[in-house]
Structure 1
Amino acid sequence: MGGVQMISVKMLKPYYIKADDQYVRIILAYQYFAVVINKKVYQFIPIEAKEIRINRKTRKVENVGARFAFQKGKDIVYMTMSELISLPDFLFQLHSIAKPYYDSMQMDSKQIKDVNAVIIDELEHQNIKRLIDKALDERDEEVFRKLVQLL
């Protein structure tokens, strides 16, 4: 994906959800998931990864290497889970879908704060990675070294 692209989530609805002791699996299907890339809507197509797997205890996405396919006409775009979780709207929607499955009991305010902390941590981590990329692009060794220490 060359250049700066505006990517956002148009819709993210689970086709169905499977939860076991360890994981919440959000199963995706055509017409339940769409992204907007440079103002064009791409529909999810289940030719590669079809699920998002979240660890119920850590509340983190586990299958970060998964590749998802999106189609608009004859054009197919692939996005990895790590690219998707770098989109704040994707993360927020994902956690709100999975939230009821994180704990069998109703979550108290401490648990809600914990979930929010996980989301903020993930967003900060993604931001540091972007800043590292920028420092590399600009060949700024000092900034690069400072940022790497934050990871």
Structure 2
Amino acid sequence: MLSVQRMTPFFTSQEDFRLRLVFAYQYFSIIKGGEVFQFVPSEGKEIVINMKSLQVENLGEVFVFQRGNRFIRLPLYQLLLISDLHMHLTTILEGALDLEMEMPEVVTLEAVGIIEQLEADNRLRMIDYALETNNVNLFSELTEGLQEN
């Protein structure tokens, strides 16, 4: 397994709902077998994240790491699978989300609406259950809650 030693974007930009993280020399390094390999921007050099779904979009991008005359070429999807890259991306995203992002508020409001609807549907099912089982106490408790709302 690989571990990411350092992962600091050299440049970050946001276009619509995509966050681009561009990496350069000395800003990205991994540890494999106790040895540190430095990122070399010879092929892939950026990670594109969809801020709506929080998914990496360019999984085929190939990242190259070097130690002396040895090179490791890893597609981004493989780097995500065999390393702790997710933790580092999460830290970067938390910083990016603190910036002026409208999407989290919209998503939060939508989630709250869905939860409220599910709770209301569940309450109606519980009322039906109370009627079916002749549970007067449960029925009274559930209908009192409806009158308050």
Q: How high is the TM-score relative to the length of structure 1? A: 0.63
Partner amino acid, structure 1, of 2:42: I
Q: Deviations over 1:25-81 (max 9, x none)?
A: 000001000000111100000000010000011110000011000000011110110
Mapped partners of 1:53, 1:63: distance in 2: 6
1:63 counterpart SS class: coil
Question: Aligned pair 1:56/2:51, yes or no?
Answer: yes
Mapped partners of 1:58, 1:14: distance in 2: 21
In the other structure, the counterpart of 2:13 is: 18
- Superposed counterparts of 1:1-151, under 5 Å: 6-87=1-82, 89-102=84-97, 104=101
Gaps of 5+ in 1: 1-5, 115-151
How many pairs align? 106
CA RMSD of aligned residues (A): 2.3
1:65 counterpart SS class: coil
Partner amino acid, structure 1, of 2:71: I
Partner amino acid, structure 1, of 2:16: D
Partner amino acid, structure 2, of 1:95: T
Higher Rg: 2
Q: How high is the TM-score relative to the length of structure 2? A: 0.64
Mapped partners of 1:71, 1:32: distance in 2: 13
Gaps of 5+ in 2: 112-149
Residue 100 (structure 1) shift: 3.7
